Amino acid sequence: MIIRFMLNNMKKNLDADPADKLSDVLRDDFGLQSVNSCCNTGRCGGCTVLKDNLPVPACMVRMFSVRNSSILTYEYISTTKEFETITNVLEAMGCNFCDFCKHGKLITIYSLIMNSVPLTEKEIYEALSGNICNCTDFQTLAGAIRLAVNSIKRGKRAERK
């Protein structure tokens, strides 16, 4: 079945089994190795991508539901100006993630900041609940995310002047 969709802002027509997992297709057909296949049950968040601008575990998305949608992966998101601001702030605050969770978690944080500001601590906690990690202090992370929001806002204001 030919499935038409946008991948990292480029049109794709892929001949795929509608039951194929998006995570497998992204890795095997497009070589997008940022999409981790860890638990394959939708619990760890290692395979997170943006589907129509919302974070989803790609291992739980079947190709039939990808038709006419937009998929963004870490490979694309990590080239944006906002992503650079976010990672600079996170690093300055000492929030460094391991290779297991890094891509998925940064996609979730990027989406959270781009889609829903201002952010409460509860919203940050809920948004990150799909990305398993017991080794980052949540208060520090929440503080860093708020700082990143302010940095992006300041940058946008400066651009308008």
List the strands of the sheet with 48-51, edge to edge.
10-15, 2-7, 70-72, 48-51, 54-57
Q: Which of 8, 46, 89, 109 touches ligand FES (CB under 6 A)?
A: 46
* 139 near ligand FES, rule: CB under 6 A: no
The least CB distance from residue 95 to ligand FES, in Å, is 9
Q: Which of 22, 97, 128, 148 touches ligand FES (CB under 6 A)?
A: 97
* 2 near ligand FES, rule: CB under 6 A: no
Q: Judge residue 161's burial from the number of C-beta atoms within 10 Å of its C-beta, 0-12 exposed, 13-18 middle, 19 or more buried.
A: exposed
Q: Which of 92, 98, 116, 155 touches ligand FES (CB under 6 A)?
A: 98
How big is the CA angle at 74 (ends 70 and 78), to the nearest 5 degrees?
Answer: 110
**Which residues make beta-bridge pairs with 14?**
3
The footprint of ligand FES (CB under 6 A) covers 37-40, 42-47, 57, 59, 97-98, 100-101, 133, 135-136
